[in-house]
Structure 1
Amino acid sequence: MDAANDCKNDCQRELTGMLSCFFGLVTGSFAQDSSDSDLELSTVRHQPEGLEQLQAQTKFTKKELQSLYRGFKNECPSGLVDEETFKTIYSQFFPQGDATTYAHFLFNAFDLDRNGSIRFEDFVIGLSVLLRGTVTEKLNWAFNLYDINKDGYITKEEMLLIMKSIYDMMGRYTYPSVRDEAPSEHVEKFFQKMDRNRDGVVTIEEFIETCQKDENIMNSMQLFENVI
């Protein structure tokens, strides 16, 4: 297999891991049918914002929000998800891999106020972007995931940490099998492609511009739009 095909396969593996694994969590644990007429608020310690407000902030219908909330409350009766709970839920989908590190990065991407917990509002607003957002909105969310220290830039080290966590979670069980050096090789190729001015960091503008020109990434943006 030549270098171009290697790079293409690595890119597809990364996107599949980052997106399908996350949405597996959504459809498997949180998206459940509900016939309730309103969000049920009486049994949780943290009460989410009103249904109308969440409808205005997201691209979900009333019925979809009700369904998502019932599943969320079932997994997290307190109305808040701490990191350990999030890791436990997420890891259920990868019993043969180690999803701990990737779940940590994903948790931080949702925990925007950095208070150590995810509210239903945080969850559903982020989910709305990933499922129903524009390409630019989705890429902004992905940039935030890769920007681990939230300084507005992605470094090669940050990209490698994310990549290794994806490979730890699922790479060993993909076909063709993953070589140990594959994450580093992929990051080197893709980072050089993104870092257009060669200053050692990737800005949000460089990230979005590069991704918009990549056919594999653009195709992946459409995979999960009708997942719920």
Structure 2
Amino acid sequence: MGNSLGSNLEELQACESHHWYTKFMTECPSGLLTFYEFKRFFGLKNLSDLSNAYVRTMFTTFDMNNDGFIDFMEYVAALSLVLKGGVEQKLRWYFKLYDVDGSGCIDRDELLQIIKSIRAINGNPYNMSAEDFTNMMFDKIDVNGDGELSYEEFMEGIQEDEMLLKMLTESLDLSHIVQKIQGELNTTK
């Protein structure tokens, strides 16, 4: 009896994977998603320069081998992170997203730029300016006061502050994009 439940779950996951693959290959028959296709794939049009820069940074974080494309395995990994990733996995991704210059630390300007970009796409549910949010984050988690957030400061600080964790998680929630794709998949079945 337990095996049939596991079997049904595996069949459901295999079916879902097949639909994701079909969607991916329909949108990019070459099997490689370019930045332009990435934006089109997720319905992101007429973006401001700031929003476009954020989407470019997001694309780069999903392009794990840095070849300028997202292949199907990178796509699946990204969706898995968005749909099923744990808090620590998501925080690691957020850190990489915020560390725009790849220095291993997040400075105020990087964080402010990303927060503004995210809000240009997702809105501002907290009625707090991007500057105030950035300052609050640094005040709370820049423990050594050097004006940069190291990976350790970021991971520990966010996990220890429920309000910051909630705010970051909600501001970077991509489920509306995933739901849009799933809706398209359901209409093509």
TM-score by length of 2: 0.72
**Cα distance in structure 2, aligned partners of 1:168 and 1:218:** 19
Flag the 1:175–1:186 CA change in 2: closer, same or farther, 3 A: closer
Q: Residue 190 of structure 1: CA displacement?
A: 1.3
Match of 1:132 in 2: 84
Match of 1:65 in 2: 17
Paired residues, number: 161
Contact 2:100/2:110 (8 A) holds in 1: yes
Higher normalized contact order (CA 8 Å, seq sep 6+, divided by chain length): 1
Amino acid of the structure 1 residue aligned with 2:21: Y
**Cα distance in structure 2, aligned partners of 1:167 and 1:71:** 28
Could you list the structure 1 runs, at least 4 aligned residues long, displaced by more than 6 angstroms after superposition. Answer: none
**Cα distance in structure 1, aligned partners of 2:119 and 2:81:** 25
Match of 1:168 in 2: 120
Question: Of 149, 157, 161, which residue of structure 2 is paired with 1:202?
Answer: 149
Q: Residue 151 of structure 1: CA displacement?
A: 2.2
1:185 matched to 2:132: yes
Contact 1:94/1:170 (8 A) holds in 2: no
Amino acid of the structure 1 residue aligned with 2:92: N
Match of 1:116 in 2: 68
**Cα distance in structure 2, aligned partners of 1:122 and 1:175:** 30
Contact 1:82/1:116 (8 A) holds in 2: yes
**Cα distance in structure 2, aligned partners of 1:160 and 1:63:** 41
Sequence identity of aligned pairs in percent?
A: 33
RMSD: 2.9
Note the alpha carbon deviations across 1:150-207, whole angstroms, 9 max, x for none: 2221111111111121222243xx578x68xx22222122122221111221112111
Q: Residue 94 of structure 1: CA displacement?
A: 6.3
The structure richer in helix per residue is 2
Note the alpha carbon deviations across 1:2-53, whole angstroms, 9 max, x for none: xxxxxxxxxxxxxxxxxxxxxxxxxxxxxxxxxxxxxxxxxxxxxxxxxxxx
Q: Residue 218 of structure 1: CA displacement?
A: 4.6
TM-score by length of 1: 0.61
**Cα distance in structure 1, aligned partners of 2:69 and 2:121:** 23
**Cα distance in structure 2, aligned partners of 1:165 and 1:101:** 7
Contact 1:81/1:118 (8 A) holds in 2: yes
1:214 matched to 2:161: yes
User: Any unmatched runs of 5+ in structure 1?
Assistant: 1-54
**Cα distance in structure 2, aligned partners of 1:175 and 1:65:** 33
